[in-house]
Amino acid sequence: MVSLDDPAVRAAYDDEQLPRMSFGDHLDELRKRLIRSLLAVVVAIAVVMPFKHTVQEIILAPYRLQWQRGFTEWVEKLEARQAAGTLDKEGKEFLAYCLEYRESILAGTKEYTYLLQAKTGFPVPYGLFAIEGLEDILNWMWVALLFAVVLASPVVIWQIWAFVAAGLYQRERRIFYRYFPFMMLLLLGGILFGYRVALPFSLHFLIGLMDPSQVGAMLSIGQFLNLELALTGALGLVFQLPLVMVALQRVGLVRHTTYLKHWRMTVLLIFLVAALLTPPEPVSMLLMAAPMLLLYGLGLLLTWIGRGHEAPATEVSP
């Protein structure tokens, strides 16, 4: 006999009846949501397109950070050589120019920045290059689309959610409302970490390995954009690690004790993932692995707090 005292039965009775939709109704609903999302993106593209210079400055900010760091080290090197009495006449001219305009150079307000490499002697160019004729405009179109999607994301996310939510129970919607803000915060945190820390330090390390007398540093806009999107996107995804751990615990696939038991294997997997998702050099790998280790620790803490929601362990009969 069915009893309402049974929690599973009570939950089934409490859940509302979902509206039934035919396959054609689903397609019509999907088409409506897609059209609204595309219209929002098109409007956002029209808003972004006139601001090419501003948007590209945002994209190039990590490159500027590594250039400023390298330029500061270059000036310190020239000053050390001058103090040691080993700086030649040309080097003294470089140093004098660097010291005279250092503040405006580091602030990015110096005019004719394309002449800085010749005036300062610093072998790294201030800007990126368009190696192919259409490389700049093609990459600008991709960047404009990316910024437009970000600008239109509230509308796009809402349309996606409105389509998916129609097939969810109220309890499932509440779970989404609870975890979605944390998911977005972790995503933004990972992107910002890659944008402000991982990418500038990685570029600085890679360029520092070059010998200017043999190999000159020259990045194209396409190469840089691919590296930037890959690194920031990968960090945005791996920053979801604590939520993934909690989700696996809540659905009963992994227990807190299992995370603790296999921590050595997890650390090894973190370094393998970091090596696969970053350029083939140690700084990028460490800059991705370090936050992943901290996030794994956060996941351990959250799953420890959530132990009370775990299903009881199944005992195996002898």
Q: What is the mean pLDDT of residues 30-35?
A: 89
pLDDT band per the 50, 70, 90 thresholds, residue 68: very high
The predicted structure's pLDDT at residue 101: 94
Confidence at 291, pLDDT banded by 50, 70, 90: confident
pLDDT band with cut points at 50, 70 and 90 for residue 18: low
pLDDT at 47: 93
pTM: 0.79
- The continuous run of DSSP H or E covering 116 comes out as helix 116-120
pLDDT band, very low/low/confident/very high, at 99 (cuts 50, 70, 90) = very high
CA–CA dist 130, 34 (Å, integer): 35
Residue 7 pLDDT > 60, yes or no? Answer: no
> Which of 165, 183, 208 has its CA nearest to residue 18?
165
Percent of the chain at pLDDT exceeding 70: 88
Q: Are 285 and 271 in contact (CB under 8 A)?
A: yes
Q: How many helical (H) and strand (E) elements, i.e. helices and strands, does the chain have?
A: 14, 0
Range scoring the smallest mean pLDDT among 15-29, 170-184, 276-290: 15-29
Average predicted confidence (pLDDT) for the chain: 83
- For the stretch 203-238, pLDDT in tens is 888 888 888 878 878 888 988 998 899 888 888 888
pLDDT at 287: 80
Q: What are phi and psi of 220, to 5 degrees?
A: -85, 160
Torsion, Cα of 262, 268, 269, 271 (10° steps): 150
Cα within 13 Å of Cα(260), Cβ side? 9
pLDDT reported for residue 64: 92
**Is the pLDDT at 14 greater than 60, yes or no?**
no
pLDDT at 285 over 90: no
What pLDDT does residue 74 have?
93
> Is residue 311 predicted with pLDDT exceeding 80?
no
pLDDT of residue 9: 45
Tokens standing for residue 75: 């000036």
The position carrying tokens 């097939």 is 167
